[in-house]
Structure 1
Amino acid sequence: MFTSFRLHLAQKLLNWSKQFDRLSTANDRGDKTVLIFLHGYSLAHTIRPLVIARILKDRGYHVVLAGRGPHVDRVRREGFELHDVETMPQSRMDECVERGDYAYYDHAWIDRCVSSERVLMQVIKPNLVIHDMKPTAEISARLEGIDDARIAQAYNQPGYAEPIAVGDHFGSSGDLFDEYLGERAEEVKPQRNFYLMADIPEFHPSGKSKGGYYYVGPLHDRPAPPENVDLLDEGWDTSLPLIYVTCGSSGRPPDYLDELVTAVRDKPYRVLVTTAGRWTTAIQAENVRVVDYLPGEWILAKAEVMVGIVGIGAIYQALRCGVPIIGAPEHLDQEYHLNRVEALGVGIKLQRRVFDAEHILAAIEMVLNDYDRFRTACAPFVQALAPWDGGGVVADLLDAHFRIKDQVYRVDDDFLVEESEFVAYLVATTPLERECVEELLADSLTSGMPYRRVADRIYYDQIDSWNWLYDHEPRFFEADYRALEEKRQYFSKIEDRVLVARNDWQGYRVTYRLQIHPNGIEAGQRVRVHIPIPVEKEGHQRYVEMLAYSPEKMEGHFAQSMGFIYGYGFEAGEGPWDFSYTCELSVCEQRREEGEDVGPLAPTERTRCLEFEENILQQPEVVRFRALMQDVADDEAKARMIYDAIANKKRFKKTKDRIQNNLYSTVATLSDSGGHCITLTRAFISLCRTEGIPAREINGALIGYPDGEGRFRAEGRSESLIGHTWAEIYLRESGWMPVEFHGIVIGEQAMTKNNVRDPRLVQLIKEQGPVYSDYYFGHLDNQRLIYAAGAKNLPLYEVEDVAEPLHSAKRWQMPEGLRFDCTLEVECI
């Protein structure tokens, strides 16, 4: 069992060390501060953070705790640094649950908690935040740019195998959290978050997780039991079965105890009740004992049955001792757990409304009369729970997290793909053949490329494994560069160190294909697709003429002014589903036009093209950058300085940005070594706007790799092809002028010491780099198609959820994990 456990966890989680040098973290732990938020109104949600805090402290981390409520005294008694922080009172939560409302938080409460948490984070400056029953801490961590880990249960993971149906009448704070964060999107900073699932897979089985959800086992306080506990072993008939009744530390008053204690007075068993100070009625029964607190496992080591309004902590305590459970739920999470108790045959679930003496005694009799069956069902869990060491797995995980956090290339769970999928992705999106891809991947496994091995399977990081190949593997980089150079030579040439287009206007026949693989979508569900179409842009793209649609009925959904085939609907059937269109158009090279003053922009357009987030001016990276231009008065000179700082000093790389708004892109670009077309362009636009230079974003699609004479092909695998981005700035001397950052994949900065082997290619890159860099400030080739501004944000497909209200924004959504392939075939005409 222990070997199986280590295979499940270490191979899926801690195998990170196999991709990176296993540098000792012991000497670095003292430099790492971990801030742990607890919910001090609940004993369980105080103990779990405390268990983690103890072992992290023993490992050498600087641990700080924060919370509020009656149970925080436990933390204080152990000598931890403890801070008060705004916390949702248990009384408010209990009142909500009483009326079937799980929307504990409103906007005001979210703001109160987030404000308090952010102030503390700014003071403590932690390297990681851990939180339990404190959902606002995740928002605070994202706003402060601090990695966070949430203590949670396994049923929270995507694709959980045993979900519970929750009716629409139950409220939820989820939408409010999203809304609150959305209102502050420009403040969101890059960080990582993951889930510490205080479960074992034998009880709550794993779903089809996208990563970031880790089993860490129950987080129990397990004081060593004494040889003899007087309360359990002295003064009564120990030959009688012991029934352990636990009230829990929160929830509705345990009013069922009055009747229950009286009813068991004449029963042939002993009863020990732990009340957490919530029930104080005098008792007159020799076989019943009541105590505020006694460690649960001390009691369960001698008990036959556990009874109570039990949470997952008590359930795992009972199962660790092989003791059947009789429980009733008050909270939704208890509903999940007790459903599993009953499904696994390790106990009986009662409804809270009938959790009274009559039904409790009947359930006790049922368990005792069929005790062998219940004990047999519990036995495997004694073995399954034995290896979990109450926080050690969490500490191992944090060691691994900090060990790889600052690595340039790393494996992140959200971007994991199996080897076969990564091979297919590279074959589709690069000029390499499958055999070459498989060969270079096999070679790269021993050369430092990030990957993860789970049993006999290999997983890659779709972003950083690609970046590693681009930076380290000559076969990869050179094949890409040569294919794109062949395309560039077809459309342009260099004369006297100036790039010249072979044709001002270039005609194209364009065929776009979309194929959706409907795994997981039930037959008969309504689906609709939105397919982007090239748009006309004066002086740049014209004569867009649609020639064919497939299916033909899509023509009725063509909205030319919007640039989409919009909302073409159908009922799901067997897949894959195929859609395509063919059109013809002409694209013109854009040149810097010198001439007379073209005059000012219209006031509304000028205002729109000068907008920027006010707090961008306070970002240290922006302050330092703008200081370099304080003596430059000319708009064009300023724009060129900004362009040169990005185009000549940054490298191309794929990124894992959760958001790509202008503020985030600006800070990320100035503080990092590179980026891609979206982040670099938005950084350029923001910096221009802060200098009073109107700038706007243009979207389109790059023509792909050569695919025969005068033919080019681009493929996307679960990635849209309509996402390329560049800028235009407005100068009085020339009007709107294009600025493109495509030169970063052509010039010398694209090379590393490892990714180019051919000296002739090295020389070509060094010669061409400055030519293209100069060209793309003020010029734009005709090797890209223009699409509407919203094309890259529109979902390609949506599936209807009939359970949502007719006009709800959630009724139509793009499901995660659905694979789609798209191709853009371009023929010169």
Structure 2
Amino acid sequence: MMQARRRILFLAEAVTLAHLARPRALAGALEPGRYELHLAAAPRWPVVDREVFEGVHPLASIPPERFQGALARGVPAYDLPTLEAYLREDLALLERLRPDLVVGDFRLSLCVSAPLAGVPCATLANLYWSPRARRPFPVPELPLTRALGPSLGGWLFRLARPAAFALHAAPLERLRRRHGLPRLGGLLEAYTWGDHTLYADWPGLLAHAPLGPTERCLGPVQWAPSVPLPPGWEAWLEAEELPLVYLNLGSSGAGRLLPLLLAALGGLPCRVAAATAGRPLPPHLPPNARVAEYLPGERLAARAALVVCNGGSPAAYQALAAGTPVLALPSNLDQHLMAQALEALGCARVLRPEGLGAEAFARAVEALLEEEGPWAAARRVAAELARWDAGAAFAAFVRERFGEEGEGACAPSRAGPS
């Protein structure tokens, strides 16, 4: 008698492209037909295909503009009524589908819905959010840094950070208490809660205490849109006369800077390929620049001499997998944490967006195009990343979770790659 396939439900909080792209990439790494795969997400980012899933279910998420606006103001993105609505929808979906495993990417309400429904939950997160990570918290772009500057604003942020983190975690703590669940302990615990915590990084990203038995590093989760180069780009891209700068601020970067950055690059001896991540194309371009909404990022990063991005893990890992250094312009804390780690490794330079001028940006680009140090560091990181296969590690985790036979073993939580 044929055994029923195990059902896996991916829940993506589609407030940024990355939170949808990572589940899609990991689902696509599983053996076709072996599991019954479902995705629940808001109907956004059509550039992320859903073909690997047998069922696709609409899921309410706050608008990306509301999420980004809350981060920019330094206020909680989720209040208690929103989380209660999320919980009701989660529970209805879990009851209807009855999955054997739920995999969440920033769906914070799962720390209540999954235990109430009795469904095992694996959470995707980044290592720098782990309570075990050893890192300072850089000040993100906030009203106080825009008004007082990063130095004084950063000093105030360091004083206020514990209280601010508690404020951001408070609605979720109240939701758990209302439903009879124990306290999480703080924002880091909220972001990484799960029966299993799967970090979409390699352990060399930053120093950390040994991970626990339910935590593991998968390695970088790579995804790029399946889009061709725009007509006429092929020969231009392969030309050798000038270095290529790939500019991609992502769906959550400081998109307001795009005209300034393009104008600054227009005065440099380079070519510029820019992706807007679905934002409207700028009306005026310098002669050395070409722009599209989406581009095949892995190919652009491999061809580029420099990648300019928001510092977040998706674009940064594309660059570093190709051994290309990064100029990071982070805004929110997630981007700052990743950019900080990469700068410490020597493969990136960080510029703050607030008050950034064209001249300072152009000088940073020129320095990174000329200096050998960032190139050498990026190549060292690329060699490390080549040893990691997040898809294979995730597939091994799923087999282990279901007690299945199969080749390979899960990546150990604090050792080498799978």
Q: 1:89 aligned to 2:89?
A: no
2:133 maps to amino acid: Y
Partner of 1:121: 94
Whether the 8 Å CA contact 1:152–1:195 is kept in 2: the answer is yes
Any idea what the Cα deviations from partners look like across 1:679-712, whole Å, max 9, x if unmatched? xxxxxxxxxxxxxxxxxxxxxxxxxxxxxxxxxx
Structure 1 residue 355, shift from structure 2 partner: 3.7
Letter in 1 for 2:378: C
Give the share of equivalent positions with the same residue, in percent. 27
Taking a change above 3 Å as real, the CA distance of residues 49 and 235 of structure 1, as seen in their structure-2 partners, is closer
Partner residue of 1:99 out of 42, 58, 73: 73
> What amino acid is aligned across from residue 59 of structure 2 in structure 1?
V
SS of equivalent to 2:78: coil
Equivalent residue number for residue 134 of structure 2: 161
Alpha-carbon distance between aligned partners in 2 of 1:57 and 1:453, rounded to the nearest angstrom: 23
Say yes or no: does 1:112 pair with 2:107: no
Name the counterpart of 2:152. none
Conservation of the 8 A alpha-carbon contact between 1:151 and 1:197: yes
Q: In structure 2, what is the equivalent of residue 177 of structure 1?
A: 172
Task: Give 1:119 shift.
Answer: 0.2
Offset from partner CA, 1:738-757 (integer Å, 9 cap, x none): xxxxxxxxxxxxxxxxxxxx
Match of 1:33 in 2: 7
CA distance in 2 between counterparts of 1:32 and 1:215 reads 23
For residue 376 of structure 1, report the CA deviation from its aligned partner.
0.8
**CA pair 243-379 structure 1, distance change in 2 beyond 3 A:** same
Match of 2:222 among 204, 220, 223: 220
Deviation string for 1:712-768 (max 9, x for gaps)?
Answer: xxxxxxxxxxxxxxxxxxxxxxxxxxxxxxxxxxxxxxxxxxxxxxxxxxxxxxxxx
Per-residue deviation, residues 274-302 of structure 1 (Å, max 9, x unmatched): 01221422234321110111121110111
Deviation at 1:173, TM superposition (A): 3.1
Q: Which residue of 2 aligns with 1:58?
A: 32
Q: What is the distance in 2 between the residues matched to 1:137 and 1:249?
A: 24
More helix by share: 2
What corresponds to 1:312 in structure 2? 313
Asked if the contact 1:240/1:270 (under 8 Å) is kept, the reply is yes
Q: What CA distance in whole angstroms lies between the structure 2 residues aligned with 1:241 and 1:177?
A: 48
Deviation (angstroms), 1:99? 1.1
For 1:210 and 1:367, how far apart are their aligned partners in 2? 38
State the superposition RMSD in angstroms: 2.9
1:637-648 → structure 2 map (5 Å cutoff): none
Q: Distance in 2 between matches of 1:260 and 1:123?
A: 48
Corresponding letter in the other structure for 2:242 = L
Is the 2:347–2:378 Cα contact (8 Å) retained in structure 1? yes
Task: Give the whole-Å Cα distance in 1 for the aligned partners of 2:182 and 2:15.
Answer: 31
Q: CA deviation at 1:44?
A: 1.1
Aligned CA distance change for structure 1 residues 69 and 41 (closer, same or farther; 3 Å): farther
Distance in structure 1 (CA, Å) of the matches to 2:220 and 2:235: 28
Gaps of 5+ in 2: 139-157, 184-192, 405-411
CA distance change for structure 1 residues 300 and 148 in 2, over 3 Å: closer, same or farther?
Answer: same
Partners in 2 of 1:398 and 1:264 — Cα distance? 45
Task: Supply the distance in 1 between the matched residues of 2:413 and 2:66 (Cα, whole angstroms).
Answer: 46
Q: Which residue of 2 aligns with 1:332?
A: 333
User: Quick one: which of 44, 49, 57 aligns to 2:23?
Assistant: 49
Q: What residue is the counterpart of 2:302 in the other structure?
A: 301
Deviations 1:411-457 (A, max 9, x none): xxxxxxxxxxxxxxxxxxxxxxxxxxxxxxxxxxxxxxxxx9999xx
Does structure 2 conserve the Cα–Cα contact (< 8 Å) formed by 1:158 and 1:209? no
In the alignment, is the contact (CA less than 8 A) between 1:143 and 1:187 conserved in 2?
Answer: no
The amino acid of 2:172's aligned partner reads F
CA distance in 2, matches of 1:48, 1:240: 33
Alignment of 1:546-585 (within 5 A): none
Give the distance between the partners of 2:102 and 2:403, measured in 1 at CA.
16
Matched residue SS, 1:82: strand
User: 1:630-655, CA deviations, whole angstroms, 9 ceiling, x for partnerless residues?
Assistant: xxxxxxxxxxxxxxxxxxxxxxxxxx
Aligned counterpart in structure 1 of residue 212 of structure 2, from 210, 226, 239:
210
Q: Compared with structure 1, are the counterparts of its residues 175 and 330 closer, same or farther at alpha carbon in structure 2 (3 Å cutoff)? A: same
Return the offset for 1:73: 6.4
Q: Count matched residues.
A: 376
How far apart, in 2, do the equivalents of 1:199 and 1:50 lie?
16
The aligned counterpart of 1:426 is none
Q: Is the 8 A contact 1:261 1:283 kept in 2?
A: no
1:74 to 48, 54, 59: 48
SS at match of 1:354: coil
CA contact (8 A) 1:306 1:326 kept: yes
CA distance in 2, matches of 1:113, 1:33: 21
Q: Quick one: structure 1 residues 186 and 269, their matched pair in 2 at CA, closer, same or farther if it must change by over 3 Å? A: closer
| 8 Å CA contact retained: 2:306, 2:325 | yes
Aligned to 1:670: none
**Could you tell me which of 103, 107, 111 is aligned with 1:138?**
111
* Structure 1 SS opposite 2:133: coil
**Larger C-alpha radius of gyration, 1 or 2?**
1
Q: What is the CA distance between 1:262 and its match in structure 2? A: 2.5
- Cα distance in 2 for residues equivalent to 1:236 and 1:53: 33
What amino acid sits opposite 1:354 in the alignment?
G
Could you report, residue by residue, the CA deviation over 1:768-811 in whole angstroms, capped at 9, with x for unpaired residues? xxxxxxxxxxxxxxxxxxxxxxxxxxxxxxxxxxxxxxxxxxxx
Aligned counterpart, 1:748: none
Residue 351 (structure 2) aligns with: 350
Q: Is the 8 A contact 2:80 2:174 kept in 1?
A: no
Per the TM alignment, residue 245 of structure 1 is displaced from its structure 2 partner at its CA by: 0.6
Structure 1 position 336, deviation (Å): 0.7
Q: How far off is 1:261 after superposition?
A: 2.1
Counterpart in 1 of 2:382? 382
Contact 2:12-2:104 at 8 Å conserved across structures = yes
- Report the equivalent of 1:730: none
Conservation of the 8 A alpha-carbon contact between 1:32 and 1:61: yes
**SS state at 1:353 partner:** coil
Change (3 A) 1:117 1:356: farther
Q: Is the 8 A contact 2:216 2:414 kept in 1?
A: no
In 2: Cα distance, 1:378 partner to 1:198 partner: 19
Matches within 5 A, 1:371-450: 372-403=372-403
Rounded Cα–Cα distance in structure 2 between residues aligned with 1:249 and 1:98: 14
Unaligned runs of 5+ in 1: 1-26, 405-451, 456-829
Code of the residue aligned with 1:176 in structure 2: it is: P
Q: 1:282 to 1:339 in 2, by over 3 A?
A: same
> Could you tell me which residue of structure 1 aligns to residue 189 of structure 2?
none
In structure 2, C-alpha distance between the alignment counterparts of 1:282 and 1:186, rounded to whole Å: 52
Alpha-carbon shift at residue 157 of structure 1 (Å): 2.5
Contact 1:155–1:163 under 8 Å retained in 2: no
Matched, 1:148 2:160: no
Change in 2 beyond 3 A, CA 1:454/1:57: closer
Distance across 2 between alignment mates of 1:98 and 1:275: 20
Cα deviation per residue 1:439-498 (whole Å; 9 max; x = unaligned)?
xxxxxxxxxxxxx9999xxxxxxxxxxxxxxxxxxxxxxxxxxxxxxxxxxxxxxxxxxx
- CA positional deviation for 1:233: 3.0
- Asked if the contact 2:215/2:413 (under 8 Å) is kept, the reply is no
**Partner in structure 1 of residue 149 of structure 2:** none
Hey, what's the Cα distance between the residues in 2 that align with 1:59 and 1:205? 38
Conserved 8 A contact 1:40-1:67: yes
Q: Is the 8 A contact 2:301 2:322 kept in 1?
A: yes
Alignment of 1:434-473 (within 5 A): none
**Shift in CA distance, 273/259, structure 1 to aligned 2, threshold 3 Å:** same
